Amino acid sequence: MRYLAGALGYGDEAEYWAACGMLHDVDFEMYPDCHLDNTPAILKEHGLSDDVVHTVMSHGYGICSDVEPVHEMEKVLFATDELTGLVWAAAKMRPSRSCTDMELSSLKKKYKDKKFAAGCSREIIAKGGEMLGWDLDKLLQTTLDAMKATEASVSEKVSAYESAV
């Protein structure tokens, strides 16, 4: 989300975008069967603002939340939440186990294969693109670019976290 903020002209809001991206699934591990039901209380308990609550809630619009994405950042979060899962699954199938050498054509092939990463809803991904006014190619390429640019730092942080726990 930090990368996308900069790429889309919201560089001055990059940390906010990043924080919302990090928080969007704050309740998922604790409450996977009722995702987002407890999120407002959790975020408020930690002193987070109503706009953060709205943003986090909006990523589940139409699925497990009735909070509609309004700001471009909320639409990006909605669109990329499912899509990043699909990109990551496609990356794990590659010999490199990375998205850094993935091309749009390869990603599109995986996207079109309904059996591949079947838990990643193509309908939600397409709806997110529509909300943004982006065609599928732009959404896929923009998300892929963001993941390529941040893969090394994300992997490093995940490894550090796993070592600590």
Element (H, E) at 53: helix 50-58
**Confidence check: pLDDT of 39 > 80:** yes
- State the Cα angle at 62 between 59 and 63, rounded to 5°: 75
Confidence of residue 44 (pLDDT cuts 50, 70, 90): very high
Closest-CA residue to 83 (of 53, 57, 50, 59):
59
Segment 57-107, tens digit of pLDDT = 999 999 999 999 999 999 999 999 999 999 999 999 999 999 999 999 999
**Confidence check: pLDDT of 165 > 80:** no
d(CA 34, CA 41): 14
> What are the residue boundaries of the structural domains of the chain, listed by start?
2-164
CB neighbourhood size of 53 (10 A): 18
Query: What 8-state DSSP symbol labels residue 65?
Result: B
d(CA 39, CA 72): 21
